[in-house]
Structure 1
Amino acid sequence: MAGDKTYIDISRAKCEQRDRLIRDEWKISQKLALGNNVLEVPRTCGVLSEREINITEYNDALDIIERIRQQVYTAEEVALAFCKRAAIAQQLTNCLTEIFFEEAIERARQLDKERAVNPSTPLKPLHGLPISLKDSFNIPGLDSTIGMTYFANKPATEYSALPKLLLDLGAVLYCKTNVPQTMMTADSDNNVFGRTLNPSNLKLTAGGSSGGEGSLIAMKGSVLGIGTDIAGSIRIPSVCNGIYGARPSSGIVPFAGQQSPEDPGMPGIEVVAGPMAISMRACSFFMKTIMSAEPWRYDSSCLHLRWQGQLNSRKPRIGVVFDDGLYTPFPPVRRAIQEAAQKLRDSGVDVVELRLPNVAEAVGITYGMFALDGCQFVQDLIKAGKEPEVESVKRVNLAAIPKSSLQDYMDLNAGRRKLQAVYHDFWLGNNLDALILPPAPQTATPFDEWGPISYTMLWNFLDYPATIIPTGRVQESDVVDGEESALYSEADLKNYKLYDSTETYRDAPLSIQVVGMRQEDEALAEIAGLVDSILNHSETG
């Protein structure tokens, strides 16, 4: 850390540096009257032209690519529109960390020029598509602070593997997005950039750790962004913000070369990168594009697993799980999964009700694997940055987590393998193609209150791909019920009591989680597309 600057000085300088990169004409009026739901503000604030509203509001990633191909839009005007809308989102929700709008617009301009000079040259798969990135991805010349003062003003010198691949596929990168201090909580708040807000309800969390991505995409300042996930860090923000998000199996999407709060030699649960988007088909398209691009050339840990393009002619057999046996879902979450199961049955899908085995044991092993070093590495980073812990990190209480011995680690591995076999048998024994279940027992919660992560963490433990599909929002009919509805424990009751009124959770999004078997990512994408089409009447291709 340079000189005697405090973490407050560093934060002020970083935020001022970021804010100067927003053009004056893109700034919204301070006189604008805002409610708790700001999703409509980009359309009404007067910053975007009617054409820019159409570009950003009514197209998903596939639409953007196709309309650039057909020369309905230029790459430059698309980049400009999304940079402007991301600037609006930043002013309303504090979702961005690093801004490189001008470089993105220039890259898009060059793509247009190259196309004009060589009109017969085939366009790359992502030609002209703006893609946003979680702060942990390295871009030369930019910081990757991951919400920690220690990493401020230490710009990267090389690309992470995935941004490099995305650029080679023709994408336009234009901003990075906010995360929690340490990236180890579900509330995107830190001492460098502050807290990201939820545009559906500014009093609720945007989730974490890919919370900035969730908020930006909900505001349609991005149609496709990249997050990372080790316990739910793609899926939790997707739930909180009412967007689509996919946690792939490990080794599918390049992950190498990122900034991390974890010792680089740490074994255990693998963190993965994956898509967050405004449509299910955009998530599937991203997976298809990456798997077809020989990602192992960019990251040696990637599998040589290609997209096959095979479609299943029969409707799948889907297991439905109404709760995980540890935490009782809030009333609106119960309604969402019950309605989803009924709609699938009504459409002719074979749906079977199931209970998940050994969840508490899996959660215990997972927490042990997260903290093999007693979280000493990340604690040292906080101390080196001379900054305090934010509230959500305090609640994790890193210092209280004991360090594991080598024997402890071997025991954890043995336990994990045993439960992976249990779930393998569970899956095959029930002849499943997929599972649906709540992505969490709660919706987006008030700040720093997100508790249980067992509904998402389990699939990291098993390394099963999992996708979030939004299904609606909290309604007035989702009334608070009695404490006796909390079925399992004191911890369950404490979490359940957070749901205190429909007013507190006004406009909070609802979602379901769709899970597939390990390395069956393509099959899951197809099933998730089918489920989405049934629940949301959406396009599947």
Structure 2
Amino acid sequence: MAITTSPYHQTLPHLTKDNWRDHAADKRARQAALIPKEWRLSPETLDATGDDVTGVPKTCGILSERELEITELDEVEELAKRIAKKTYTAVEVATAFSKRAAIAQQLTNCLTEIFFSEAIQQATKLDEILEKTGKTVGPLHGVPVSLKDQFDVAGTESTMGYCSYLGRISTYDSALVRLLRDAGAVFHCRTNIPQTLMIGDVFNHLFGRCCNPHNRKLIPGGSSGGEGALIAMKGSIVGVGTDVGGSVRIPSAMCGLHTIRPTTRRLPYAGATTSLIGQKAVVCVAGPMARSLSSCAYFLRAVLNLNPANYDPTPLPFPFNDAAYTCTAKRVKLAFGIIRTDHNVTPTPPIKRALDLAAQKLVNAGHEVIEFDSVLLKDAFQLANDIFGADGGEDFKRALDPIGEPLIPGISPTQNSLKTVSEFWQLNYAKELVQQGFLAQWLATAEQTSTGRPIDGLLCPPAPVTAVLPGGNRHAGYTGMFNLLDVPVLCFPVTKVEPAVDSADPYFKPLNEEDRRFHDEYDPQLTAGMPVGIQLVGRRWQDEELLGLGEVVASIIGSKDWAE
């Protein structure tokens, strides 16, 4: 059957270059009206809040003690068990997380679409099913799941942060939304993103800027930064982000969360609104974000065991591999590689310290850490950027030009980067060569480790910086190189910034002018107390084995207790 519809949204005729700002303001007013009056913070509370607002939900008086108990849970599996046992009703849970999400929105601007009423209606049906049949709908029965503002939900407005998309009503559920519904999940909100998705921050002309709840002067990372802020505020127990250059890992690192960037073709993505439509050389993937790695594993198991290939033609039809997930824990000694620099931008002191701390704790636990030179990957992220810009900026222009919506700061126009078909094929071939070189380098570590095996995992910074001021997160090379390689990657917190020990290096020698700029901008007093994370990289397609390895590493380094 021929495809006759355009994959691009056509800007609706009521939006013009003269009135789009008015329509954006109207959208924000409609959004604010969806928060019930009794869930709104008082002017006195708002005036009294400081930079760190993570404690406000406990003290503002909006949540009952039972609702606080529900939303303080970090483990998805435990919440699902309590709903199944009728310790909590699905309605109680949906209401509690909706209230906390409302509080998070008022303090951080982390939401786009609000589905609080719909969530409670959906939860009511789930409670009725459980009461009538004695059985849950699926492994996520009654669990609230937040969605990055890319995942279409039938009957709701879907803008993806573009003012030019106002009035676009989804006519279907995206594939992952359909699967999660079948797993029993409840959707209570979608979360804020940057215009175009192609930046590690959250700002757009429609919903505005999202801030980091640990310090509202700073960014939450991006592009799944709305998810990062919401989950850090405990307005959601698990959320779905996407990652084409680090977009679940960067906000997780900056907000103190756990996540996995899966290998491509594991989770369904069809039907989701996205940018760079049709670009398949470096593929965007969906990934869970949560406050524990075990919650990410539970989520992934739930999704994979429902066979994503029945919802989307691209995923592999393989269930969660429990044998691979548990195999790492049986190994007496593990070996890890460590990447300390991407040879482009030097990690700031707290990032270096977190990496050293994780490595030392692993060695103290009887494992092995060897150096892994990343010089092969020095130009990997630039190669990815050449791929992203190969259309000469046509994707962005299609969205923005009809109403004259300007690009947000930090996004570089790519009209001079247009590639011919032959040039684009060469970029794909260059990617394959990097992938082959990386695999060979990984396998060659068997000659260096005392285990006689290649390294089990690879430790790496998630970014050169922790959460920073707007405009300060300009380098995604530490995450983006692994998107080019298409390997699974975890990210989790290790510690927090401590100005007394994270002072600037007096012997610093910059690699280049941008490296010098990052060094000069570093301010340990401004970022004091902010989470500091690391990445753990695995082999392609071995996502479950990486998750199991991550559970071992996270336990050794105490990732859930990073703030202490």
TM range (shorter): over 0.9
Which residue in the other structure is 1:406 paired with?
421
Which residue in the other structure is 1:99 paired with?
114
Letter in 1 for 2:79: I
Which residue in the other structure is 2:376 paired with?
358
Which residue in the other structure is 1:235 paired with?
249
Residue 98 of structure 2 corresponds to residue 111 of structure 1: no
After superposition, give the CA deviation of every residue in 1:352-386 in whole Å (9 maximum; x if it has no partner): 12211322232222111111101222123111232
Deviates most, 345-354 or 226-235:
345-354
Match of 1:387 among 385, 396, 405: 405
Residue 173 of structure 2 corresponds to residue 159 of structure 1: yes
- Separation in structure 2 between the aligned mates of residue 408 and residue 15 of structure 1, nearest angstrom: 43
Displacement over 3 Å in runs of 4+:
none
SS in 2 for 1:485: coil
- Separation in structure 2 between the aligned mates of residue 105 and residue 449 of structure 1, nearest angstrom: 39
Match of 2:342 among 324, 344, 351: 324
What's the CA shift for 1:122?
5.1
Say if 1:417 and 1:3 are closer, same or farther in 2 by CA, change over 3 A: closer
Unaligned runs of 5+ residues in structure 1 are: none
Which residue in the other structure is 2:209 paired with?
195
What are the within-5 Å matches in structure 2 for residues 8-407 of structure 1?
Answer: 8-32=21-45, 33-119=48-134, 121=135, 123-262=137-276, 264-310=277-323, 311-312=326-327, 313-314=330-331, 315-393=333-411, 397-399=412-414, 401-407=416-422
Say if 1:392 and 1:361 are closer, same or farther in 2 by CA, change over 3 A: closer
* Contact 1:317–1:351 under 8 Å retained in 2: yes
What's the CA shift for 1:537?
6.8
Unaligned runs of 5+ residues in structure 2 are: 1-11, 446-453
SS in 1 for 2:204: coil
After superposition, give the CA deviation of every residue in 1:27-83 in whole Å (9 maximum; x if it has no partner): 011111011100000111111001111110134211110111222111110010000
Say if 1:111 and 1:51 are closer, same or farther in 2 by CA, change over 3 A: same
Residue 495 of structure 2 corresponds to residue 480 of structure 1: no
After superposition, give the CA deviation of every residue in 1:187-216 in whole Å (9 maximum; x if it has no partner): 100000000010000011111111100000
Sequence identity percentage:
38
- Separation in structure 2 between the aligned mates of residue 469 and residue 89 of structure 1, nearest angstrom: 22
What's the CA shift for 1:504?
1.3
SS in 2 for 1:290: helix
What's the CA shift for 1:480?
3.2
- Separation in structure 2 between the aligned mates of residue 327 and residue 216 of structure 1, nearest angstrom: 29
- Separation in structure 1 between the aligned mates of residue 55 and residue 441 of structure 2, nearest angstrom: 45
Residue 540 of structure 2 corresponds to residue 518 of structure 1: yes
SS in 1 for 2:172: coil
Letter in 1 for 2:519: Y
Letter in 2 for 1:380: R
- Separation in structure 2 between the aligned mates of residue 382 and residue 333 of structure 1, nearest angstrom: 37
* Contact 2:494–2:533 under 8 Å retained in 1: yes
Letter in 1 for 2:283: E
SS in 1 for 2:286: strand
Deviates most, 128-137 or 316-325:
316-325
Deviates most, 414-423 or 372-381:
372-381
Say if 1:6 and 1:369 are closer, same or farther in 2 by CA, change over 3 A: same
Letter in 1 for 2:335: R
Which residue in the other structure is 1:535 paired with?
557
* Contact 1:483–1:497 under 8 Å retained in 2: no
SS in 2 for 1:288: helix
What's the CA shift for 1:484?
4.3
After superposition, give the CA deviation of every residue in 1:293-331 in whole Å (9 maximum; x if it has no partner): 111000100012322211221043211222222211111
Deviates most, 172-181 or 476-485:
476-485
SS in 1 for 2:437: helix
Match of 1:469 among 477, 486, 492: 492
Deviates most, 93-102 or 121-130:
121-130
CA RMSD of aligned residues (A): 1.5
* Contact 2:376–2:438 under 8 Å retained in 1: no
Letter in 2 for 1:379: K
Q: TM-score under structure 1 normalisation?
A: 0.96
